[in-house]
Amino acid sequence: MTQVLVTGGSGFIGSWCVLRLLEAGHDVRTTVRGLGREPALRAQLHAATGFDDARLTVVRADLQSDDGWEEAVAGCDYVLHVASPTLRNTPGSEEAMVSAARDGVLRVLRAARAARVRRVVLTSAFGAIGYGHPPRSTPFTEEDWTNVDADIAPYQRSKTLAERAAWQFVQDEGDGLELTAVHPVGVMGPVLGPDDPPSLRLIRGMLNGEVTVCPPFGSSWVDVRDVADLHLRAMTDPAAAGERWLASAGPSLRSVEVARILHERLGDRAAKAPTRELPLMLARALSRVSPQLRAIRPQLGQDFDATSAKAQRLLGWTPRPVEDTIADTAESLIAHGMTAGVRFTR
């Protein structure tokens, strides 16, 4: 029986990866930063699918410490390294976030190499591909890298430098360890429990009425369920070794188009969603005083378009329509009582 380690199994993407692995018949071990999360994680997974509890092991390991990683990877055939420091769990300077992300990746890779793991799937991000570039008319692909010397957010810089370090490690010290990287664009989709995924705050804010006007930028989006599916394909497909894979459901959508889909699919339940886009010049001016707009200032006026043609062609991956994902996201947030008292961004 194949044993797979998923780091960060209580997170939004990580929990869906655990779920899909269990459904596919794999034995799963997953890391959490505190074992107090285990009961809720098991309950959420059992609510979504049936599985033998013995096939899931939850262990404690923190990306900022060496403790626990040798035991976490022992006996594993594959590793899905999904966990990554964010502003939520890595307070402090930008340098601290970059260091935590890079050092965490290297800890996992060293442990995987020592345990003779076959392949590590690294959950990177579009943030390591499409930022720090001038506006462009063509979609971003896996050949692109974020410019870390440009005006970009700490999270995007940390994901880029961590991935660079991972590829360099495997090249110089991998000793046969295979690496592949998955790069999701903006991730939406249903939640398995009352988590607080930052990528869902745009929709939450629209449903709450806290986003009263749409910020002027566009992004490609993808369903978390399809992101998990791409991880499993990248884990075992021979074509995936040594490659980067963009996970995107289609062309860029402006925020105002996301709001329009909410109105069309949810009707009165999306009555608070905005209908207008904030003028770009006004958005840039307000970003000097608005924490929400300041956090996305480098994105204002841009359309971050990304193509997943490579994954669809070589791995047979097929993402679902983004309109369905937006509707399913909203339905899930409403069902879990998560549509009150949340800001658009942090």
Q: Tell me the mean pLDDT in the region 72-97.
A: 80
Strand partners, 186: 221
* pLDDT at residue 249 in the model: 97
pLDDT higher than 70, residue 89: no
CB 78 within 8 A of CB 178: no
Query: How high does pLDDT run on average in the chain?
Result: 92
CB-CB contact of 6 with 14 (8 Å): yes
Q: Which of 250-264, 282-296, 300-314 has the lowest mean pLDDT?
A: 282-296
Can you give the pLDDT at residue 85? 73
Cα(124)–Cα(113) distance, rounded to whole angstroms? 19
Two structure tokens written together for 75 = 């006996």
pLDDT of residue 87: 53
Question: What values do phi and psi take at 294, rounded to 5?
Answer: -60, -35
CB of 247 closer than 8 Å to CB of 227: yes
Nearest to 79 by CA among 190, 234, 308: 234
- pLDDT value of position 341: 44
With a cut of 60, say whether residue 250 has pLDDT above it: yes
Domains of the chain, residue spans: 3-191+221-250+305-320
Distance of CA 171 to the CA centre of its chain: 25
Task: Give 280-288 contacts, CB < 8 A, sequence gap 24+.
Answer: 280/216, 283/215, 283/216
**Residue 1: predicted pLDDT:** 73
* 248-262: average pLDDT: 96
More confident position, 195 or 285: 285
Bridge partners of 28, per DSSP, are 4, 56
Q: Inform me whether the pLDDT recorded for 88 exceeds 70.
A: no
* Residue 112 confidence (pLDDT) above 70: yes
Write down the pLDDT at residue 293: 83
Using CA of residue 48, residue 51, residue 55, residue 60, what is the dihedral sign?
positive
pLDDT at residue 196 tops 90: no
Structure tokens belonging to residue 72:
């976490």
Q: Stretch 182-202: mean pLDDT, rounded?
A: 91
Determine the pLDDT at residue 153: 85
Amino acid found at 92: G
DSSP E strands in the chain: the ranges are 3-7, 27-32, 56-60, 78-81, 119-123, 178-184, 186-188, 218-219, 221-223, 244-247, 253-254, 303-304
Task: Give 210-238 pLDDT, tens digit per residue.
Answer: 899 999 999 999 999 999 999 999 999 99
Find out whether 225 and 188 touch, Cβ atoms under 8 Å: no
Residue 31 to residue 18: CA distance in whole angstroms? 11
Q: What is the pLDDT of residues 260-278, one digit of tens each?
A: 999 999 999 999 999 999 9
SS3 189: coil
Q: What percent of the chain has pLDDT over 70?
A: 96
Q: Can you give the pLDDT at residue 148?
A: 95
Contact in structure between 23 and 50 (CB atoms under 8 Å): no
Which residue in 26, 107, 119, 159 is the catalytic one?
A: 159
Rounded Cα distance, 139 and 210, in Å = 31
Band the pLDDT of 92: cuts 50, 70, 90. low
Based on the residue annotation, tell me whether 310 is a catalytic residue of this protein. Answer: no
**pLDDT for 198 beyond 80:** yes
Sign of the alpha-carbon torsion through 320, 326, 328, 333? positive
Q: What element of type H or E holds 32?
A: strand 27-32
Architecture of the domain whose range is 3-191+221-250+305-320: 3-Layer(aba) Sandwich (3.40)
- If one counts every other C-beta atom within 10 angstroms of the C-beta of residue 177, the result is 20
Average pLDDT score over residue span 154-166: 94
Q: What is the pLDDT of residue 300?
A: 85
CB-based contact 68:27 (threshold 8 Å): no
